[in-house]
Structure 1
Amino acid sequence: MSLTEREREIVALLRRDPMIGSAAIAETLGTTRAAVNVHLSNLGRKGVILGRGYVLATRPAVVVVGGANMDVKARSERPVVSASSNPGTATITPGGVGRNVAENLARLGTRTHLVSVVGGDTLGDQVLAATSAAGVHVEHVRRSTRPTGTYTAVLDADGELVVAVSDMTATEDIDTAQVAAARDLIAGAELLVLDGNLPEATLAYALDLAVAAGVRAILEPVSVPKARARAHLVAAERPLFAITPNRDELATITGLPAGTDREVRAAADALHERGVRHVWTHLGEAGSLLSGPEGAVTVGAVPARVVDVTGAGDAALAAFAHALLAGEDVVAAAAYGHAAAALTIAGPHTVRPDLTDTLVRSTL
Structure 2
Amino acid sequence: MDILCIGSVLWDIIGRSPSAMRLGSDVPGRITRIPGGVAMNIAITLRRFGLTPGLLTAIGRDPEGDELVADCARLGMVIDHIYRSDDLPTDRYMAVEGANGLIAAIADAHSLEAAGDKILRPLTDALAGWSGPIALDGNLTEQLLAEIAVSPLFAGADLRVAPASPGKAERLLPLLGCANATIYVNLEEANILSKVHSDTAAAAAEALLARGAAHVLVTDGGRACAEGRAGEGVITDTPPPVLVTRVTGAGDTFMAAHLVAEQQGASRTEALRAALRAAADHVSGDIA
Using the size of structure 2 for normalisation, the TM-score is: 0.90
TM-superposition CA deviations, 1:177-221 (whole Å, max 9, x none): 431322463733421111011122322333334676421211102
Structure 2 residue matching 1:128: 3-state secondary structure: helix
| Residue 245 (structure 1) aligns with | 185
Report sequence identity in percent.
28
The count of corresponding residues between Structure 1 and Structure 2 is: 285
**Structure-1 separation of matches of 2:205 and 2:253:** 24
Q: How does 1:163-312 map to 2 (within 5 A)?
A: 163-183=104-124, 185=127, 187-209=129-151, 213-231=155-173, 233-236=174-177, 238-260=178-200, 263-271=203-211, 274=212, 276-292=213-229, 293-312=231-250
**Structure-2 separation of matches of 1:341 and 1:171:** 26
Structure 1 residue matching 2:58: 3-state secondary structure: strand
Q: How does 1:1-364 map to 2 (within 5 A)?
A: 61-144=2-85, 145-156=87-98, 158=99, 160-183=101-124, 185=127, 187-209=129-151, 213-231=155-173, 233-236=174-177, 238-260=178-200, 263-271=203-211, 274=212, 276-292=213-229, 293-347=231-285, 352-353=287-288
Decide whether the 8 Å contact of 2:13 with 2:92 is kept in 1.
Answer: yes
**Counting helix residues as a fraction of each chain, which structure ranks higher?**
1
Structure of higher CA gyration radius: 1
Decide whether the 8 Å contact of 1:77 with 1:86 is kept in 2.
Answer: no
Decide whether the 8 Å contact of 1:62 with 1:189 is kept in 2.
Answer: no
Structure 1: which 5+ residue stretches go unaligned? 1-46, 48-60, 354-364
User: Cα gap change, 1:312/1:281 in structure 2, threshold over 3 Å: closer, same or farther?
Assistant: same
Q: Which amino acid aligns with 2:226?
A: L
TM-superposition CA deviations, 1:35-73 (whole Å, max 9, x none): xxxxxxxxxxxx6xxxxxxxxxxxxx2111110110111
Q: CA deviation at 1:88?
A: 1.8
**Structure-2 separation of matches of 1:253 and 1:190:** 26
TM-superposition CA deviations, 1:320-353 (whole Å, max 9, x none): 11112112233322211111111111218xxx45
**Structure-2 separation of matches of 1:299 and 1:210:** 35
Decide whether the 8 Å contact of 1:289 with 1:296 is kept in 2.
Answer: yes
**Structure-2 separation of matches of 1:279 and 1:316:** 13
**Structure-2 separation of matches of 1:212 and 1:86:** 47
**Structure-1 separation of matches of 2:239 and 2:68:** 31
Q: Which amino acid aligns with 1:329?
A: S
Deviates more, 1:119-128 or 1:210-219: 210-219
Structure 2 residue matching 1:286: 3-state secondary structure: coil
**Structure-2 separation of matches of 1:212 and 1:150:** 28
**Structure-2 separation of matches of 1:110 and 1:161:** 30
**Structure-1 separation of matches of 2:22 and 2:81:** 43
